[in-house]
């Protein structure tokens, strides 16, 4: 399976930790020139340095808040072209649905959906001109199995599926693919904090993980949290030559959490 990314440039947004950092590492190990992104210059630089040391690859960073139009424009100005765009930047929180304010609905849509739309709107047509490219939206199993405690998050992840499918249709037959990847509950720093807040900070994390899966995600067929590297494996496939016939798809790496055949 050809996942050699030599000569390709891959931008992974929201990649200073968790799934994004694992994806960036995966592409760097495959030979891509990787650009990591986050809002903090300090964290971006530290992540790029860590990834260079860990992978031996070519990694640099761009600090920009792509949850705003101005931030997306500044990133594009610094990086006019990429071969692979991984739209991973996102936020989540648990809030009762009838207590979510207008401002919070808007903030989630701006960060989780429009950030990727803005970047794909610039990069995808330029990929088409060159006859090769990959756009990947990191969605979630929450897009098809809406969590009661995070309806606003689930809404944005469902929107990503629609956006990705529509963009894939727009670029059909060009050598450019657009897909969504749907991770399930994954062990990232943010998720670890989220679980501790719901189970109890005094509970050892191994036990907290077990309780969270058993009580709040009982449909999981893995019976554990997914590891970021497991998500990165599927993203690398979709972003490589090996994924040339996979487009317009919603690719699940959710550990079977969503009780659906598709």
Residues with catalytic roles: 153
Q: What is the spatial distance between Cα 6 and Cα 29, in angstroms, rounded to a whole number?
A: 10
Instruction: Report whether 115 contacts 89 (CB < 8 A).
Output: yes
> Three-class SS of residue 172?
coil
Q: What is the spatial distance between Cα 227 and Cα 19, in angstroms, rounded to a whole number?
A: 8
Closest C-alpha among 8, 193, 154 to residue 86: 8
Per-position DSSP letters for 184-218, written without gaps between them: -SB--HHHHHHHHHHH-TTS-HHHHHHHHHHHH-T
- For the CA atoms of 51, 52, 56, 57, what is the dihedral angle to 10 degrees? 90
Per-position DSSP letters for 57-74, written without gaps between them: SEEEEEE--TTSHHHHHH
Which DSSP category does 226 fall into?
B
Q: What is the spatial distance between Cα 167 and Cα 108, in angstroms, rounded to a whole number?
A: 21
């Amino acid at each position: 399976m050809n996942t050699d990314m030599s000569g390709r440039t891959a931008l992974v947004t929201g990649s200073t930790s968790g799934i994004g950092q694992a994806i960036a590492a995966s592409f760097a190990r495959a030979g891509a020139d990787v650009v990591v992104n986050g809002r903090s210059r300090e964290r971006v630089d530290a992540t790029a340095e860590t990834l260079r040391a860990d992978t031996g690859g070519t990694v640099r960073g761009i600090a920009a808040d792509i949850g705003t139009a101005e931030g997306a424009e500044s990133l594009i100005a610094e990086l006019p072209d990429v071969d692979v765009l991984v739209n991973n930047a996102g936020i989540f929180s648990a809030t009762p649905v009838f207590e979510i304010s207008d401002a919070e609905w808007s903030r989630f849509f701006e960060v989780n959906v429009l950030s990727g739309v803005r970047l794909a709107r610039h990069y995808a047509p330029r990929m088409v001109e060159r006859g090769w490219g990959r756009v990947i939206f990191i969605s979630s199993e929450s897009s098809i199995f809406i969590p009661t405690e995070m309806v606003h998050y689930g809404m944005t992840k469902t929107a990503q599926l629609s956006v990705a499918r529509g963009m894939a249709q727009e670029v059909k037959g060009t050598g450019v693919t657009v897909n969504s990847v749907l991770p399930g509950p994954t062990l990232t720093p943010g998720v670890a904090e989220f679980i501790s807040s719901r189970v109890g900070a005094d509970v050892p994390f191994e036990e907290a993980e077990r309780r969270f899966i058993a009580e709040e995600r009982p449909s999981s067929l893995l019976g554990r949290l997914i590891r970021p590297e497991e998500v990165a494996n599927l993203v690398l496939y979709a972003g490589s030559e090996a994924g040339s016939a996979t487009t317009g798809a919603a690719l699940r790496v959710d550990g079977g959490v969503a009780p659906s055949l598709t």
